[in-house]
Structure 1
Amino acid sequence: MGIMQRTAELIGFAKRSAEDTPSAPPAIMPPPRQHVLNDTTAMLILDVYRAVEVLQIGVSQLGLDQWRGDRRTSPASIIVKPDTETHRPAFLEWSVVSLALDGNAYWRILRGMNREPICLQPLNPAEVSPVRDEKTGRVKFYWRGLELAPGDRTGGDIVHLQKLRKPGREKGLGPIEAARVELTGTMQARDYSSTWFERGDVPSGILTTEQQLNGDVADEYKKRWMGWNPETGKYEPSGHGVRVLGHGLKYDPLQIKPADLQFLETQQFNTTQIARLFGIPASLMLAVIEGNSQSYANVEQDWIAFTRFTLMVYLREIEEALSSVIPHGNHVRFNVDALHRSDTLTRYQAHEVGIRSGFLTVPEAREIEGLDPLTPEQLAALTPTQETTNV
């Protein structure tokens, strides 16, 4: 048998012939299952689910502001409610999840009588295919096999958001596709540990002796230990009673520690790998890395780093996409203050410093806290000291 044939057999691309098949029982390690990795099966991995959930929770807390130059203006209706069939947080969550899993998100622009955008319809990334026309150089989008009007980022009928762009590639590269090998290994390790007791090839114990036994004698002792009754010709296992064996045989139960059975070290390694893949701090993954101590200050810094170096990648892509469907000269920005909110006492002390220093007013501080504006009567009742010191 050639080396190529043997290699193909080992990795499962070829089957052994009958004469090459050994008569010995298979090894304890079973052949790996055939795993199909996609955005659906990847979400069945606990750590992937948690990583995507953190991204989803992060974007759902944020507000959207519309700006013209350096002045904030009233947002357009399509910014207040991008998709008429759902609320804005759900629309933003859908976009982030699509980017995190597939590396792409698609919005179909539905227009009104005057061609103004009135709705952004989210599409399933698995049903959209962008193709660049070799003649025109423009990108055509096919949705469920049907060609839609060619679109671009500045006014086409399809808005295409991408996670990681690569020259010469029309689709974004998402974490699931980029780490296909690592995530498939995680799925295999999970399935192997979860089916440990269900498999019949894992022995409950080992019979050993210092004497030499031939195959027939060894098989006979094995059958006797497992409850074989030579008189009835049947196995009659029993969980109780005394078993007597000769030839100096000794039975050692195969005991596995719970930590080893659950592959805790492997799970911890997989959690770290997936957290690194999605850019999620360990504290947000609810995981503890050995040697690292968590404190309030550390967790707060984790949130800042997460916002700046992970979540902002998604937010900037959504901001630019939304800015492309509103009147020219306007742009959209997320208000990320909600992610950096400290405890109540610290915030109020910061407001007091701002008001005393003169760069923050009472109405501005109330707006930051989400409080209703003061009425003219309440403003008139404030003393000069209160106007500068009280929130």
Structure 2
Amino acid sequence: MSFWSKVREQLAAFVAYMAESPEYAGDVRPPARERQTAVTTERALSLSTVYRGIQIHATAACQLSIAVERDGQAIKTPPLVEQPDVDESQSAFIEYAVTSLYIDGNAFWRIIRDGAGRVINLVALNPNEVRVNVEYDRENRETITFGWRGLTLKRDEVKHLQLLRIPGMRRGLGPIQAAQIEVRGALDARDYGAMWLSDSSIPDGVLSTEAELAPGDADKYKHVWYGRNQDGTPRDDEKNNSERLRVLGKGLSYTPLFLKPSDVQFLETQQYSTIQMARLIGAPASIMLVAVEGNSETYSNVEQEWIGYVRFGLMKSLREIEQALTDLLPRGQKARFKVDALLRTDTKTRYEAHALSLNPQTGWATVDEVRALESMTPLTDEQRTELANRKPTPAAPKEPISA
């Protein structure tokens, strides 16, 4: 008989056994795997890495001010940009927009206009409550409306911001929606680690022997080990039994199941999940307090990481907000976030760069331009006179070099 014939014969015998087993009642098919439900926003935010990553984006965006330009020249900030929602601060409005984009992939603003059609207020809507409807006429022209709390809002009544636009999808795609399997894996790893010590099904140790045990001996040894009678009933003196000593016979030996603290807390898994979620959310690893293996953290590396974060992480949500505000401003006006605050170096490096720009021979900037970069007002006439009369500090004499 060939090898494959033996395999088929054994499989047939196994199937026959399964069919006769009352436990399976003739159904030898494997149980159907339950369909995994989608990870909700609330459950995803229960991961500290996801919550922290989104909070980093919101905190960074809230620190930035918005300037309005016309023909490249800064103008006075209009009320619509200074406070888009009259009932909220500008930072709160921006925070709601950024968190909505990273949590849902979408942000919706309801536009309030006056009698002349000018935009006078913006109200941030809960993206979970907004439905995007698309209808086509006979000429295949589309009409987009938004359903919100039983109302049907036209396209000029709602501003729709999207984190990532996908062809064929009317709603933006967010990181939580795009990477459901990875987020669910991080949740499962966290829950498994949290239940490891509290789960009563995990044994404390193993009683072992090389001798053959009679039926029921294993249960008797287990009961005696835990201070009970052989049949499992409690002893009369169990309440007063404070003995910590166990006596083994029949060649029994006890091996405790010890785990290192790093294994109990699943530190390697947690670090991998943190890096994975930081990459998914687009938050800097250094701010997430995790080190990527093989990378050395230096000041230069962290500075470059922040530049990359602003350009390729945070800038997408900022550009959505900028463009949405620009579309609602009068024609010719543009809204721009001042991202310099996130890219500024330390004080010493900044001042050294200012000194180079003010150098009389090679400089290219004025004192007032440098003061503007530091958010300072221009010099007054008195300050200019004092600065002109100020004598330069003599350089310290060099010590002679001894022979």
Shorter chain as denominator, the TM-score bin is 0.7 to 0.9
Of residues 98, 110, 113, the one that matches 2:112 is 110
1:20 — aligned with what?
none
Q: Say which SS state the counterpart of residue 324 (structure 1) adopts.
A: helix
CA shift, 1:36, in A, is 5.8
The aligned counterpart of 1:61 is: 63
Matched residue, 1:17: none
Q: 2:170 is matched with which residue?
A: 170
SS of aligned partner of 2:313: helix
What secondary structure is seen at the aligned counterpart in 2 of 1:78? Answer: helix
The residue number in structure 1 matching 2:347 is 344
Q: Give the Cα separation in 2 of the matches to 1:107 and 1:43.
A: 23
SS at match of 2:142: coil
Q: RMSD of aligned C-alpha atoms?
A: 2.3
CA contact (8 A) 2:49 2:288 kept: yes
Distance 2:199 2:37 in 1: 18
Q: Match for 2:326: what amino acid?
A: S
| Counterpart secondary structure, 1:321 | helix
Residue 367 of structure 1 corresponds to: 372
Cα deviation digits, residues 298-334 of structure 1 (max 9, x gap): 1111100101111111111111111011001111111
Q: Report the AA paired with residue 299 of structure 2.
A: Y
Q: Per-residue displacement from partner, 1:257-314 (whole Å, max 9, x unpaired)?
A: 1101111111111111111111222112111123321111111111001011111111
Deviations 1:71-100 (A, max 9, x none): 222221101111111211111111111111
The percent of aligned pairs where both chains have the same amino acid is 43
Measured in 2, the distance between the counterparts of 1:209 and 1:302 equals: 58
Deviation at 1:137, TM superposition (A): 0.5
Measure the CA separation in 1 of the matches of 2:119 and 2:242: 73
Q: Residue 115 of structure 1: SS of its match in structure 2?
A: coil
Aligned length: 359
Q: Select the residue among 144, 168, 178 that pairs with 1:139.
A: 144
Question: What does residue 24 of structure 1 align with?
Answer: none
1-side partners of 2:341 and 2:218: how far apart? 70
Q: Distance in 2 between matches of 1:3 and 1:83?
A: 62
Alignment equivalent of 1:85, drawn from 77, 84, 87: 87
Matches of 2:67 and 2:182, distance apart in 1: 39
1:289 aligns with 2:292: yes
2:230 matches 1:247 = no
Q: Which has the larger radius of gyration?
A: 2
Specify the SS of the correspondent of 1:248: coil
Q: Give the TM-score of the pair, scaled to structure 1.
A: 0.86
User: 1:319-355 deviations in whole A, cap 9, x for unaligned?
Assistant: 1111011001111111111011111122122222223
**In the TM superposition, what are the counterparts of 1:313-328 in structure 2 within 5 Å?**
313-328=316-331
Contact 2:69 2:334 in 1 (8 A): yes
Q: How does 1:5-24 map to 2 (within 5 A)?
A: 5-8=29-32, 11-12=33-34
Gaps of 5+ in 1: 14-33, 387-391
| Alignment of 1:40 onto 2:69 | no
Gapped regions of structure 2 (runs ≥ 5): 1-18, 20-25, 392-403
Q: What is the distance in 1 between the residues matched to 2:348 and 2:257?
A: 57
Q: Which residue of 2 aligns with 1:51?
A: 53
Matched residue of 2:328: which SS?
Answer: coil
**C-alpha contact 1:221 1:245 (8 A) present in aligned 2:** no
Instruction: Tell me whether 65-74 or 160-169 shows the greater mean CA deviation.
Output: 65-74
Between the aligned partners of 1:3 and 1:295, the Cα distance in structure 2 is 62
